């Protein structure tokens, strides 16, 4: 032992400092114990005890792991949604609603039954083929061909 450890405590101020430090340590210990007791009390509340069977079933069937994964996915989505992305999504939604509004005002609703019948009986495909033939014929007819046809 060193001389400092074996010497008697003679200074009253030193004794007071030691007592104050011991009181602070005791206060910290009491505060930590009180916090632990409050945590244990919350863990043993009637609500938690009532939830334990459901939590046990979630653990048994893997549902708790799925909930954790879902929470992680939700957090990742939240992190990924920057202000720019949210603004672009809002713009896209607004443009989509504008398009639907224009379609409604144009009377497309009245044409839908006719278009449905054209699709169902194959006539729409025939109309498309006829339009391709007409376009090809129009492309093939040049001024020279028209002039030769007129001469003959």
> What is the per-residue pLDDT across 57-80, written as a single tens digit (0 to 9) for each?
989 999 999 999 999 999 888 888
Query: What's the CA gap between 55 and 127, in Å, rounded?
Result: 63
For residue 10, is pLDDT > 80? Answer: no
State the pLDDT confidence band at 116, using cuts at 50, 70 and 90: very high
- CA nearest to 117, candidates 104, 126, 130: 126
First-residue to last-residue Cα distance in the chain: 132
Query: What's the CA gap between 82 and 145, in Å, rounded?
Result: 61
Query: What's the CA gap between 108 and 99, in Å, rounded?
Result: 12
* Residue listed under structure tokens 């030691």: 18
């Amino acid at each position: 032992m060193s001389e400092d450890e074996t010497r008697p405590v003679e200074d009253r101020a030193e004794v007071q400092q030691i007592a104050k430090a011991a009181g602070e340590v005791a206060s910290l210990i009491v505060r930590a114990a009180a916090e632990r007791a409050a945590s244990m009390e919350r863990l043993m509340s009637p609500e938690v005890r009532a939830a334990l069977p459901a939590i046990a079933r979630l653990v048994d069937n893997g549902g708790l792991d799925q909930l954790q994964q879902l929470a992680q996915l939700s957090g990742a989505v939240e992190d990924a949604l920057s202000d720019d992305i949210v603004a672009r999504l809002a713009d896209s939604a607004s443009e989509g609603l504008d398009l639907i509004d224009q379609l409604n005002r144009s009377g497309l609703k009245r044409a839908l039954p006719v278009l449905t019948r054209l699709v169902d009986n194959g006539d729409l495909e025939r109309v498309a083929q006829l339009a391709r033939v007409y376009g090809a014929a129009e492309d093939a007819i040049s001024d020279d061909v028209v002039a030769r046809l007129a001469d003959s």
